[in-house]
């Protein structure tokens, strides 16, 4: 019997960490439902399959002979793990597959399996602020100026960020439109929650009760602007990396001001980001989800006339105080 591979390709900032955390922690229980979340090709804590995406050309570069040996070893390991588990389906997850590299090696690696591609798409007015928050926390000496608008303008046309339509069409061309599982990342469409949604999407509704015994909150929560701005300053400073990490960890460890607005961008810019991608939304809704109305997302559109105040940069004194506290 041909096994089915579900390949979850991200994209980043669509609950990927929560999904990976659940499938990793419930790995043994999921086997009894016929679903394997492999140890093969996992990395770090084992929650994601970065070794697989890396070996298939969606990460750091390998010499060809190294990649071929690594893939051969992975293929043998996967076959053994599947036989031992008796699972009829396998789920891999790595948001690195979002990168627009050659997909043919993925097809070749899984040539003995049926393959379905799973991808969550998030509306851009909420995706960009979330991506910005994560990037500020991880990128040293960023090449854009100190604002989310500068980050968006710098990033939106980079080849590493394909449009949603380009992304799904590229994978559909290789694996077939009928094997694309596309889900909007939106609360009202991920009911009762994201984990239940993906289990339903891959036809493992029987495993939904497993989620009630585990917290699946995102490990990468967005930060208020006051914290982001401080971290951004430290990321740009020419200081010892160990000191930088101490300062950033100090900021992250402090409680957030719950009264601070979470809106990093104006309603006008939010609407602009949606309108720039509306044609893609409508195309995907019709072509891949069969929605004749062309609606990919159901949340109300932002009102450009909603009062909004731009978040403020920290004062000189607050930066000095935070720095002293962080080094104390």
What CA–CA distance (Å, rounded) separates 189 from 299? 9
For 137-239, strand residue ranges (E) read 180-184
- Do 230 and 196 lie in one domain? The reply is no
Beta bridge partners of 90: 5, 36
Q: Which tokens is 114 given?
A: 């049926």
Q: What is the mean pLDDT of residues 164-173?
A: 97
User: Does 186 lie in the same domain as 90?
Assistant: yes
Same domain, 23 and 99: yes
Higher pLDDT, 215 or 282: 282
Quick one: 90 and 204 in the same domain?
yes
Return the H-helix or E-strand segment holding 135: helix 124-138
Task: Report residue 64's pLDDT band, with 50, 70 and 90 as the boundaries.
Answer: low
What pLDDT is stored for residue 226 in this prediction?
Answer: 87
Indicate whether 172 and 251 sit together in one domain.
no
Q: How far apart are CA 14 and CA 297, in angstroms?
A: 14
pLDDT at 220: 58
Q: How far apart are CA 65 and CA 59, in angstroms?
A: 16
Sequence-ordered strand ranges (E) for the chain:
4-8, 35-36, 89-93, 114-121, 180-184
* Banded model confidence at residue 15, pLDDT cuts 50, 70, 90: very high
Q: What is the pLDDT of residues 200-224, one digit of tens each?
A: 999 999 999 988 766 555 555 678 8
pLDDT tens digits, one per residue of 231-246: 999 999 999 999 999 9
pTM of the model: 0.93
Note whether 198 and 244 are same-domain residues: no
C-alpha neighbours within 13 Å on the C-beta side of residue 229 = 15
Residue 310 pLDDT class (50, 70, 90 cuts): confident
pLDDT of residue 65: 62
Distance between CA 293 and CA 138 in Å, rounded?
A: 39
Taking each helix axis as running N to C, give the angle between helix 124-138 and helix 148-155, from 0 to 180 degrees, rounded to the nearest 10.
Answer: 100
Number of Cβ within a 10 Å radius of residue 279:
12
CATH number, domain with residue 26:
3.40.50
Tell me how far apart the alpha carbons of residues 258 and 131 are, in angstroms, rounded to a whole number: 21
Mean pLDDT for the stretch of residues 126-130: 95
Cβ contact 33:204 at 8 Å: yes
Q: Into how many domains does the chain fold?
A: 2
Domain-located, residue 129: no
For residues 105 and 207, membership in a common domain is answered with yes
Tally the C-alpha atoms within 13 A of residue 48's C-alpha that lie toward its C-beta: 17
* Last residue in a domain, options 178, 213, 248: 213
In a domain, 77, yes or no: yes
Q: Are 24 and 18 in contact (CB under 8 A)?
A: no
pLDDT at 276: 96
Distances (CA, A) of 277 to 11, 25, 98, 166, 174: 16, 36, 17, 12, 24
Q: Is 149 a domain residue?
A: no
245 and 209, same domain (yes or no) = no
For residue 61, pLDDT over 70 is answered with: no
Please indicate, yes or no, whether residues 97 and 234 belong to a single structural domain of this protein: no
Do 202 and 309 belong to one domain?
no
Q: Check residue 261 and give its pLDDT.
A: 55
User: pLDDT class for 21, splitting at 50, 70, 90?
Assistant: very high
pLDDT at 94: 96
Residue 251 pLDDT level (bands cut at 50, 70, 90): very high
Q: Is 262 in contact with 125 (CB distance < 8 Å)?
A: no
Distances (CA, A) of 57 to 60, 99, 101: 7, 10, 7
Residue 173 sits in the same domain as residue 274: no
Provide the domain limits for residue 32: 4-124+161-213
Residue 143 lies in a domain: no
The stretch 298-318 carries a mean pLDDT of: 92
Using DSSP's 3-state secondary structure scheme, residue 299 falls into: coil
According to the model, what pLDDT value does residue 263 have?
81
pLDDT in tens, 67-114: 888 899 999 999 999 999 989 999 999 999 999 999 999 999 999 999
Say yes or no: 59 and 182 in one domain: yes
Residue 8: partners with Cβ closer than 8 Å, 6 or more residues away:
16, 19, 91, 92, 93, 94, 118, 119, 198
How far apart (Å, rounded) are the C-alpha atoms in residues 214 and 200? Answer: 18
């Amino acid at each position: 019997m041909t096994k089915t591979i579900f390949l979850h390709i991200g994209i980043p900032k669509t609950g990927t960490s929560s999904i990976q955390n659940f499938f990793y922690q419930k790995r043994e229980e999921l086997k009894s439902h016929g679903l394997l979340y492999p140890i093969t090709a996992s990395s770090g804590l084992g929650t994601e399959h970065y070794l697989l995406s890396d070996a298939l050309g969606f990460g750091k570069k390998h010499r060809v002979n190294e990649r071929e040996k690594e893939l051969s070893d992975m293929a043998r390991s996967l076959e053994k793990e599947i036989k031992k588990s008796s699972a009829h389906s396998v789920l891999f997850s790595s948001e690195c597959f979002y990168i627009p590299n050659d997909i043919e090696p993925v097809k070749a690696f899984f040539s003995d399996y049926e393959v379905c591609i799973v991808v969550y798409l998030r509306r851009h007015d909420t995706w960009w602020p979330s991506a910005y928050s994560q990037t500020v926390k991880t990128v040293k000496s960023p090449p854009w100026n100190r604002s989310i608008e500068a980050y968006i303008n710098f990033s939106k046309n980079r080849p590493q960020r394909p449009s949603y339509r380009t992304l799904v069409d590229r994978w559909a061309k290789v694996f077939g439109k009928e094997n694309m599982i596309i889900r909007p990342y939106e609360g009202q469409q991920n009911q009762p929650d994201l984990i239940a949604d993906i289990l339903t999407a891959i036809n493992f509704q029987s495993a939904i009760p497993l989620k009630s015994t585990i917290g699946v909150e995102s490990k990468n929560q967005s930060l208020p602007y006051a914290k982001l701005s401080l971290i951004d300053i430290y990321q740009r400073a020419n200081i010892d990396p160990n000191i930088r990490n101490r300062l950033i960890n100090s900021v992250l460890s402090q409680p957030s001001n719950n009264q601070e607005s979470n809106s990093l961008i104006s309603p006008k810019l939010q609407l602009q980001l949606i309108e720039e991608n509306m044609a893609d939304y409508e195309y995907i809704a019709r072509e891949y989800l069969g929605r004749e109305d062309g609606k990919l997302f159901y949340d109300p559109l932002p009102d450009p006339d909603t009062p909004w105040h731009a978040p403020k940069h920290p004062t000189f004194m607050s930066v000095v105080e935070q720095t002293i506290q962080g080094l104390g």
